[in-house]
Amino acid sequence: MLTGTRVFPIDQVRRRFPALQQAGRFLFFDNAAGAQIPGTVLQAVTDHLLLRNVQRGAPYRHSREVDAMIARARESVAAFVNARGADEIAFGLNATSFIRAISLAVGQTLAARPEVIVSELDHEANVATWLALERFGARIVWWRVTSDHECARLDPAALEPLLNERTRLVACTVASNATGSLVNVADVARRAHAVGAEVFLDAVHYAPHGPIDVRAFDCDYLVCSGYKVFAPHMGFACCRREAINRLPTFREEFIPDVTPDKLEAGTYVYENVAGMEAAVAYLEDLGRGFVNEGARLDTVTHAAAPASRTPTIRAGMNAIAEYERALSQALLETVRKIPGVTVHGITDPTRLAERVPTLCFSVEGAAPSAVAEALAARDIGVRSGHMYSPRLVARLGRMPGGVVRASLVHYNTIEEIEQFGVVLEEVVRRLNPDGGDRG
């Protein structure tokens, strides 16, 4: 399909991912639980382990190379999220550990503003961590999904009656881990900041699907996990330096009490940070093809200035978002025509820009686990359950069994969706032979 003036290079993209080349007929439709990695990412991890698997901070060459890699990775991730500087980027184990570390710090600053707003749409990691502050005196305020709960979205206007001078922070996702619905987080920030509250964003599910711009989002804190965005298992946080530097975070006495050091307690997995740097370079390569038609997609380039790299990365992420809208449309059309299947979330084809290609659905008369297992037997990987969003799935009326989720990224194809539709229809017919009304 076209993205602006250029066809999205799906064949070239797929050649960059070794797992796709070795998968045979298997369909990776569970990417929200972890995406595959480009070969350049694998090479970066391997090179680190073979050539510089040492601790940073020493004067010998290998250690200095680790220091240099971490510095480059900060610059790369800063460019990826459009941070104001590399010092606003911290690395760690995963997004959840960052949410917990920051929530514990926020919990020590609740005297004048004890209220924390959390949402029904969010992954449990961005809910339970804040609920745990109740023992420290926090008052939790719930931001509910819209009354048309099948659409499963958050309306920023519904924040207005919840926000006041006692609000310390609003915690919400950028995209639902279950339904793929997007949240207008810039509007959230505008409303929260108007009463002096801060904004904490979980960008884990959104990150592989479109450009992250912390300046446009105007958030105070944002967390993400590398394994969703074509990198190994690791996490990073982007924190507004003025906000994070005010918080009393845990650190050893000799560690500087400023970002990024104050959030990097202990040693994290350096080789996976090297992989994250390479993942950003891959996305930059993709973007270069859309800002420079003569560019190649098989090179890795490291540039020095994040400000100069951000537009190229954004071009790549915008191309991904446009291509994925075509995937969303095809996926919705394919699944909704199967009798007995109900899709949860935004299904209006004129609102594809409000979702990512993550499809949450249920099959009449069939347990979600049975659907997922039947698809697995036919070499299609999907997931069943509550998708770590039990409150949302309960609002959908789908607990305790949950739902089925198919989650696509930019290396998936229309042809794969067609194959998925054929198999899913056969599975539904077998599990529910009496049929049912079309969802």
- 395-423 pLDDT tens trace: 999 999 999 999 999 999 999 999 999 99
Give the span between the Cα atoms of 382 and 96, in whole angstroms: 23
Same domain, 268 and 344: no
- 264-292 pLDDT tens trace: 988 999 999 999 999 999 999 999 999 86
For the chain, what percent of residues have pLDDT higher than 90? 89
| pLDDT above 50: residue 304 | no
Which residue in this structure is represented by tokens 């409150």? Answer: 391
Give the span between the Cα atoms of 30 and 224, in whole angstroms: 18
Give the span between the Cα atoms of 420 and 436, in whole angstroms: 20
Same domain, 394 and 254: no
Domain span at 187: 47-276
Q: What are phi and psi of 72, to 5 degrees?
A: -65, -40
Number of domains in the chain: 2
Note the pLDDT of residue 306. Answer: 47
Which residue in this structure is represented by tokens 């270069």? Answer: 288
Residue from 371, 356, 357, 438 nearest 404 by CA: 371
Q: Are 399 and 386 in contact (CB under 8 A)?
A: yes
Note the pLDDT of residue 251. Answer: 84
| pLDDT above 60: residue 224 | yes
Q: Are 431 and 371 in contact (CB under 8 A)?
A: yes
Give the span between the Cα atoms of 171 and 374, in whole angstroms: 37
Same domain, 8 and 80: no
Note the pLDDT of residue 148. Answer: 67
If one compares 330 and 437, the residue with the highest pLDDT of the two is 330
> How far lies 392's CA from each of 169, 177, 178, 199, 357, in Å?
21, 10, 8, 21, 18
Give the span between the Cα atoms of 346 and 39, in whole angstroms: 34
Note the pLDDT of residue 366. Answer: 96
> How far lies 68's CA from each of 74, 237, 258, 309, 336, in Å?
10, 19, 20, 18, 50
Give the span between the Cα atoms of 169 and 37, in whole angstroms: 34
Q: Which of 220, 255, 276 is the last residue of a domain?
A: 276
Note the pLDDT of residue 150. Answer: 62
| Helix pair 39-51, 61-81: axis angle to 10 deg | 150
- 349-382 pLDDT tens trace: 999 999 999 999 999 999 999 999 999 999 999 9
| pLDDT above 50: residue 297 | no
- 110-161 pLDDT tens trace: 999 999 999 999 999 999 999 999 999 999 999 999 866 567 789 999 999 9
> In 10 A of CB 55, how many CB atoms?
10
- 35-81 pLDDT tens trace: 999 999 999 999 999 999 999 999 999 999 999 999 999 999 999 99
Same domain, 58 and 86: yes
Same domain, 6 and 142: no
Give the span between the Cα atoms of 15 and 21, in whole angstroms: 7
| pLDDT above 50: residue 101 | yes
Q: In one letter, which amino acid is 176?
A: S
Least confident range from 166-170, 264-268, 384-388, 423-427: namely: 264-268
> In 10 A of CB 429, how many CB atoms?
14
Same domain, 119 and 98: yes
Note the pLDDT of residue 418. Answer: 98
- What is the pTM assigned to this prediction? 0.94
| CATH number of the domain where residue 59 is located | 3.40.640.10
In a domain, residue 219? The reply is: yes
Note the pLDDT of residue 292. Answer: 66
Same domain, 100 and 142: yes
Same domain, 51 and 128: yes
Residue 248's pLDDT band (boundaries 50, 70, 90)? very high
In a domain, residue 399? The reply is: yes
> In 10 A of CB 174, how many CB atoms?
24
Mark residue 432 as left, alpha or beta (left: phi above 0; alpha: psi -120 to 50; beta: remaining). Answer: beta
In a domain, residue 200? The reply is: yes
- 2-20 pLDDT tens trace: 555 579 999 999 999 999 9
Give the span between the Cα atoms of 355 and 182, in whole angstroms: 5
In a domain, residue 7? The reply is: yes
Same domain, 196 and 227: yes
Question: Could you tell me the end-to-end alpha-carbon distance of the chain, in angstroms, rounded to an integer?
Answer: 28
